[in-house]
Amino acid sequence: MSDTTQSERARRLGEELRLIRKAQGLTIKVAAAKVRRSTASLSRIENGQVHIRERDVLSLLAFYEITDEAKRLQLMELARPITNRLAKHSRLFELELTATRIKNFEFGIVPGLLQVRGYIEAVCGSGITSRSRQEIRRLVDLRMARQELLAGPLPPDFHFIIGEAALHLTTGGHQVMYEQIHHLLHMSDLDHVSLRLLPFTLPSHPGTTRGFILLDVPGMGTVPLFDTLTGSTVVTDRTETARYALAYDHLQELALTEETTRARLEQFADLLEHSLGS
């Protein structure tokens, strides 16, 4: 992991902890005493100058009475050293936290940031993987924590293009897909989210082979990567980066408008509702 990413990780964690403390109406002196640190030490943590230990984060979250599991997991991921099998997934998590714009194209699957829990469980628990139950649970929780970005106070701009083929699959079953379609409709109402479908009838397009993500990260520029079953792979070649940027632009030209996409999603929802009622 680069020094830049490490510092951004500490900065984001410190900023989140500072906002929580202020929302509680607490002074930094009182909070510092709770975790047995000096006021200067906690100040450096909140300014992102140093990293905080996991146990200190847990103490602060308990003191601040933060019980929301997704929020707790999000902050603990920022504090946890990236040394385990989920390192590549955590890499994506870090980049998303610092991105100002996120563009995501997926052909045969709903983008991770838009998946409901049942859909995530179906994908992560696929029979073609050899994950333990504990690892599957951690991956599901991590993906749910990633989605906190969508509801944050200063969220990035999100642009999603989804291959209509993904909605013809009953991933997780009809009930899960019914919930998933309604979640997509809800997400498409957000001002900072653009959601468009790529028509099922297109003969070919630049995203036929695989989905990809483009993140605009301060200090790094545009970062393309692939989010897969085994982790996330970052593209570092500048020529390849330019190609993926052009590919996304072309996909936007081919995709349905946001209004037509909503109408198509509502049609899928009606069909699934009929299937569940029959």
Tens of pLDDT, residues 40-85: 988 998 888 887 777 788 888 888 888 887 677 778 777 765 444 4
The pLDDT tens digits for 163-193 are 999 999 999 999 999 999 999 999 999 999 9
What is the pLDDT averaged over residues 229-253? 87
Q: Kindly report the number of other CB atoms within 10 A of residue 30's CB atom.
A: 13
Say how far apart CA 244 and CA 110 lie, in whole Å. Answer: 19
CA 152 to mean position of chain CA atoms: 12
| CA distances from residue 255 to 75, 196, 242, 246, 251 in whole angstroms, order as listed | 36, 6, 20, 14, 6
- What's the chain's average pLDDT? 84
What domains lie within the chain, and their CATH numbers? 3-79 (1.10.260.40), 87-277 (3.30.870)
Structure-token pair, residue 56: 């200190």
Query: What pLDDT does 1 receive?
Result: 41
Task: Tell me which of 91 and 111 has the higher pLDDT.
Answer: 111
Q: What is the pLDDT of residues 212-224, one digit of tens each?
A: 999 998 878 899 9
Q: Across residues 269-274, what is the average pLDDT?
A: 91
What is the enclosing helix (H) or strand (E) of 234? strand 231-234
Across 105-109, average pLDDT: 93
pLDDT of residue 264: 96
Q: Phi-psi region for residue 231, left (φ > 0), alpha (ψ -120 to 50) or beta?
A: left
What is the spatial distance between Cα 93 and Cα 77, in angstroms, rounded to a whole number? 9
Kindly state the average pLDDT of the residues 136-160.
84
Does pLDDT of 211 surpass 60?
yes
- Tell me: pLDDT of 258 over 90: yes
Of 202, 201, 213, nearest in space to 161 by CA: 213
Residue predicted with more confidence, 34 or 274: 274
With 0-12 / 13-18 / 19 or more C-beta atoms within 10 angstroms meaning exposed / middle / buried, residue 261 is: buried
Give the other-Cβ count within 10 Å of 52's Cβ: 23
Sign of the four-CA dihedral 213, 215, 220, 221: positive
Task: Tell me the percentage of the chain whose pLDDT exceeds 70.
Answer: 86
